[in-house]
Amino acid sequence: MIAYLIRRILYAIPILIGVNLLTFALFFVVNTPDDMARMQLGIKRVTPDAIEKWKQQRGYDKPLLVNSAARGAGKITDTIFWQKSASMFVLDFGYSDDGRSIGREITQRMAPSLAIALPTFLIGLVVYVSFALLMTLFRATALDIAGVALCVLLMSVSGLFYIIGGQFVVSKLWHLVPISGYDGGMGGFKFVVLPIVIGVVGSVGSSSRWYRTIFLEEIGKDYVRTARAKGLSELRVLFSHVLKNAMIPILTGVVVVIPLLFMGSLLTESFFGIPGLGSYTIDAINAQDFSVVRAMVFLGSLLYIVGLILTDISYTVVDPRVRLQ
Amino acid sequence: MNFMPVILWSDALVFLLLAAGVFGAWYVRRREYLLLPWRRVGQSATAMVSLLVLSLFFVVGLLDTLHYRAALPEKNGGEKMYSPEVLSVFDKLVTPLRTQTEKTYSAPLAVTLYAKESTSDAQGRVLRDYPRLRYGGAHLVDATQRDENVLWRAIKGAIGGLVVGMLLLVAISSFRRRLVGWARSVPTRAGSKANGGHVTCQPYTLRALLITTLIIAALIGAIANLAPAYHVLGTDKVGQDVLYLSLKSIRTGLIIGTVTTLVTLPLALLLGIAAGYLRGWVDDVIQYIYTVLSSIPSVLLIAAAVLMMQVTIETHPQWFDTSASRADLRLVFLCLILGMTSWTGLCRLLRGETLKLREQEYIQAAQAFGVSSLRILTRHIVPNVMHIILISLVMDFSALVLAEAVLSYVGVGVDPSMISFGTMINAARLEMGREPMVWWALAAAFGFMLVLVLAANLFADAVRDAFDPRLNRTEGTA
């Protein structure tokens, strides 16, 4: 197990290097820092001096890969690649355009993101699995068909509609909760409840239908027939046999997203004014703050890879047949 | 010639797609075994009704793809000049919708503006009232006649639409004998009971199609009769007709939904099959590439790529002769970027399927006979993974249409000057706070999107059920 984990972590390193090189190519080679400066300063009032100043402020006034002017190790380290890209491996994200430490922003903003994302994830999981089990229990009846039809309908509605509609009805018409805002501690409850509900409702359609497919696939197998032949009730079969055996496909889809919960949701956070990582990313995109976007890309893929490793570990927990070697 | 045809990049891709579609239909049509799953799709009432709705959207989208630039009035002896504004055949067809712009917001079917304005009457007194619209209901002398007039026009239009729809159906049904002729040629299980071993359209599928056609015809008739005199879905902030905006958005949505998959299909197919068939270091390299790409959360990768694309477009204004071509190139790039983030899933599926296929006896037989790898790939592997490609194509469509709206909201979607569901929602969202609320633009955008995506989802399900052999079995036992 330990050996397996070490191997997986070692395997993650080339992937992270790949991500790093990709973002480096995307941000510094496709467009040179000069282009970025021209874009941000505006085409009209751009002068060579202004570009130099812009680059100097952000530390972009260095060669890309090899600094032939420097000596010794400086040839490698005194470059954009080393200072902007390679430093991300030690989680040093540098500074955003307004001069704040990106690393500190990230640690501060993780809590609000989690306050929304974690409950949404947990409540959602329970709701979707229960709904899917209900449809499976009444499969091929009017209830099941109506459930699937409802799922398809809910899937076809834009996610923006749930947020805009929810805000309008709950906050503006009924005045139940504030439209947007955030507060730490218990006082924050009234702010997070609507985003959580909308987050859960927003993916009822696709998720429940996906779980239903998984359960239906399991229910056609031989062990289910055996269990029924033993005289077990349909509920027993569903809960103690089908649900357990469906764990592997469920975990495959679910565990991977757990670390990504830290990243928050772009849409929800920006609509509800929650100071999490999602709204941080959106603000950075709108302000064209390239260093923040680059940091988020790297952080996102790091968390995704952690999720993949967690998924493998979770298999051993639910299925004793799986041994990681 | 008093116009100059313009082929934008996205137009060219749409034409390419259309040609591929026609070729595919012709190819499938001549091969009975390929036609069989499509017949199964044809027997499903939901699938056919959604296909009907989808094809209406496609017609609007296609008409909107034929672009041209109108000639400007000629000066004496001067060179012929063309207007910088790129129009489409669809714009020409609905000219009243495009040109009849009001001052600002007006509610659906309204005859007055949405906000009060100060006007002075003949005696110089200042009145505060809702001013009449320039075009909406302008033919009415008395604004109170509106309800009656609207109803009357709607009924007349609906009846006209019904008549046209019926004529169309009669024309099709006389033509249908030939159509059903080829559909009848192969016996299937489902058909054997009903019709002496021959397939024909299920009677209730036909009935559903018939009813839907008539309903749609009546609806189109009513709207077509109302639209020249009223703003059926109201107007937006700068007074543009919301119905016109919604119809124009269709093309953007369709292009995002189809072109995205098209542009990355060759890449996914080539790499997926190569990885699965050749294995070894090729497999390792390809797996590495798609693991790297898929490990970046897609929204972030799209955001990063679109930001960089903006920089490129911004710093190279000399590439574009019209603002339309600039917005268009951005749309094409967006499709490419969306495709780059979504091809990994298809590639992984194709690799897995190829790994399975290459162990099959017929492929091993081909290898034993010394058939070249290239020939095995094109003759045996590619045809056998086609159903996966088709399923992922139709399944991705609706997700991409929905994604466009979200991305435009985030600020990494289509060009703000391009009419799309996303830009419509984005503009209308800011008016949520108004009292009373301006709801029609949002409702129109969400409504059109819902119909499009729902139809696409239902059709995709039918296609998947018909093509996926694994799924058929589980449905059968359940």
Per-residue CA distances from B317 to A23, A39, B312 (Å): 25, 12, 9
Q: Residue B307 and residue A293: Cβ atoms within 8 Å?
A: yes
- Predicted local confidence at residue A26, as pLDDT: 83
User: Which positions in chain A touch B461 (Cβ < 8 Å)?
Assistant: 152
Number of separate domains in chain B: 1
For residue A210, count other CB atoms closer than 10 A to its CB. Answer: 17
Q: Do A220 and B304 touch (CB under 8 A)?
A: no
CA distance A68 to chain B (A): 28
Confidence of residue B188 (pLDDT cuts 50, 70, 90): very low
Disruptive mutation site among B326, B340, B401, B409 for chain A (greatest number of A CBs within 10 Å)? B409
pLDDT of residue B475: 42
Mean of pLDDT over chain A: 85
* Residue B112: count of CB within 10 angstroms of its CB: 18
B410 in contact with A at a CB cutoff of 8 Å? Answer: yes
CB < 8 Å from A in window 411-450 of B: 411-412, 421, 425, 429, 432, 437, 442, 446, 449-450
| CA–CA distance, B163 with B169 (Å, rounded to integer) | 10
Instruction: Name the DSSP class of A89.
Output: G
CB-closest option in A31, A156, A282 to B308: A31
Q: Which residues of A touch B301 (CB under 8 A)?
A: 297
Residue B2 or B301, more confident: B301
- Domain annotation covers residue B294: yes
Residue with tokens 């499976």: A136
pLDDT at A203 over 80: yes
What are the distances in angstroms from CA A121 to CA A49, A200, A207, A265, B129? 50, 8, 12, 11, 52
Average pLDDT score over residue span B72-81: 69
A304 interaction partners in chain B (CB closer than 8 Å): 295-297
Q: Is A216 on the interface with B (CB under 8 A)?
A: yes
A-chain CB neighbours of B478 within 8 Å are 139-140, 216, 219-220
Give B8-21 pLDDT, tens digit per residue.
Answer: 888 999 999 999 99
Question: Is residue B131 a part of any domain in this protein?
Answer: yes
Model pLDDT for residues B202-246, shown as the tens digit of each residue: 677 888 888 898 999 999 999 988 888 888 888 888 888 899 999
B31 pLDDT band, cuts 50/70/90, is confident
Give B278-324 pLDDT, tens digit per residue.
888 999 999 999 889 888 888 888 888 888 888 888 777 777 777 78
Of A54-58, A178-182, A241-245, the least confident: A54-58
In this structure, is residue B176 part of a structural domain? no
Question: Residue B193 above 60 pLDDT?
Answer: no
Tell me the per-residue pLDDT of B388-402, one tens digit each, with 9 for 90 and over: 888 888 888 988 999
* Residue A233 to residues A134, A247, B1, B360, B477, Cα–Cα distance (Å): 15, 21, 78, 41, 19
Is B367 inside a domain boundary? yes
- Closest chain B residue by Cα to residue A304: B295
Mean pLDDT, range B162-172, rounded to an integer: 89
List the domain range (segments joined by +) for residue B385: 1-139+229-478
Buried b (16+ CB within 10 A) or exposed e, A31-67: bebbbbbbbbeeeeebeeeebeebbeebebebeeeeb
- Indicate whether B451 pLDDT > 90: yes
A78 contacts A71 by C-beta, under 8 angstroms:
no
B126, pLDDT greater than 80? no
Is position B425 within any domain? Answer: yes
- CB distance A280 to A109 below 8 Å: yes
In a domain, B354, yes or no: yes
Kindly state whether residue B161 falls inside one of the protein's structural domains: no
Separation in Å, CA of B473 to nearest CA in chain A:
9
pLDDT band at A99 (very low <50, low <70, confident <90, very high): confident
With respect to residue B153, please indicate whether it lies within any of the assigned structural domains.
Answer: no
Q: Which residues of A touch B405 (CB under 8 A)?
A: 158, 160
In chain A, residues with a C-beta closer than 8 Å to the C-beta of B290 are none
Three-state SS at A47? coil
Find the residue in A nearest to B397 (Cα).
A156
| Confidence tier at B185 by pLDDT (50, 70, 90) | very low
What is the Cα–Cα distance from B365 to B6, expressed in whole angstroms?
A: 52
Per-residue pLDDT band for B87 (boundaries 50, 70, 90) equals: confident
Q: What is the pLDDT of residue A43?
A: 62
CATH number at residue B303: 1.10.3720.10
**CA-based nearest residue in chain A for residue B312:** A31
Complex confidence, ipTM: 0.86
Selection from A45-59, A71-85, A188-202, B162-176 with the highest mean pLDDT: A188-202
Higher pLDDT, B98 or B451: B451
pLDDT recorded at residue B181: 52
pLDDT bucket at A325, cuts 50 / 70 / 90: low
pLDDT of res. A144: 92
pLDDT at residue B478 is higher than 90: no
